[in-house]
Amino acid sequence: MSRHATSGWSLENETAVNVATLLREEIGASRRFPITLDRIALDDDLVARDVTGELRLTRLPDAILARVNASAVVALECQRCLDQYDQAVDIRFDEEFRVAYDVRNGSEIRPETDDERFTISEKHEVDIREPLRQEFIVGMPMRPTCGPDCQGPPAIQDDDEDQVGPVDNRFAALAGLLDERDER
């Protein structure tokens, strides 16, 4: 029989939760925490902001299962028009955090085999920052566009007064190379 509890506090601009008490409870016991982050760095120049969601931690025999539902806004550059726009990103994932330190005596628990799961820290904390970062990156569109009404790249004006209408001369340098080849 499992017990479910909603904690009285939330993760406001914090991604680590102390799970020492949960580790002492029976398998299946769980806690829920609302998540509210102003921002989380995804990469050097990429930031998710206004992060909201819920974290549910469940006690497993040798780990804590973190189930996260979250949403955020990421400023991206449209691949068609090259303008910045806000992209909503919704994620949902489960991640196991392996018990790495005994909660009663603090001794390190080494895995018997290669274990690629995240670990619970020496302070008995589960930190969801890295899995959250990874999932937001994976949740972003591969080809970001600002929407179905995107006008595409702006036309580049040529200085030739004889031209009628806008001219896109992005390939003018290549045309010049072709002209040089034809002159030889």
Report field, pTM of the whole predicted structure over 0.75: no
- The per-residue pLDDT for 127 is 94
CB within 8 A of 56, min separation 6: which ones? 30, 31, 32, 33, 66, 67, 68
Which amino acid appears at position 75 of this protein?
A: A
Task: Give the tokens for residue 159.
Answer: 């200085």
- The per-residue pLDDT for 5 is 47
Q: Where are the domains of the chain?
A: 4-139
Q: What is the pLDDT along the chain (184 residues), one digit of tens a residue?
A: 334 444 455 667 889 999 988 999 999 999 999 999 999 999 999 999 999 999 999 999 989 999 999 999 999 999 999 999 999 999 999 999 988 766 666 656 676 666 777 888 888 899 999 999 999 999 999 999 998 888 887 766 556 565 555 556 776 777 777 777 777 6
**C-alpha–C-alpha distance, residues 115 and 98, integer Å:** 8
- The per-residue pLDDT for 157 is 59
Dihedral angle computed from the Cα positions of residues 116, 120, 123 and 127, in that order, rounded to the nearest 10 degrees: 100
Among 19, 62, 53, CA closest to 5: 19
- The per-residue pLDDT for 124 is 86
Q: What is the residue-wise DSSP string for 110-173?
A: --SS---SEE--TTSEEE-HHHHHHHHHHHS-SS--S-TT---SPPPPPS-TT--S----TTHH
* CB-based contact 67:53 (threshold 8 Å): no
Helices (H) and strands (E) in the chain, counts: 3, 9
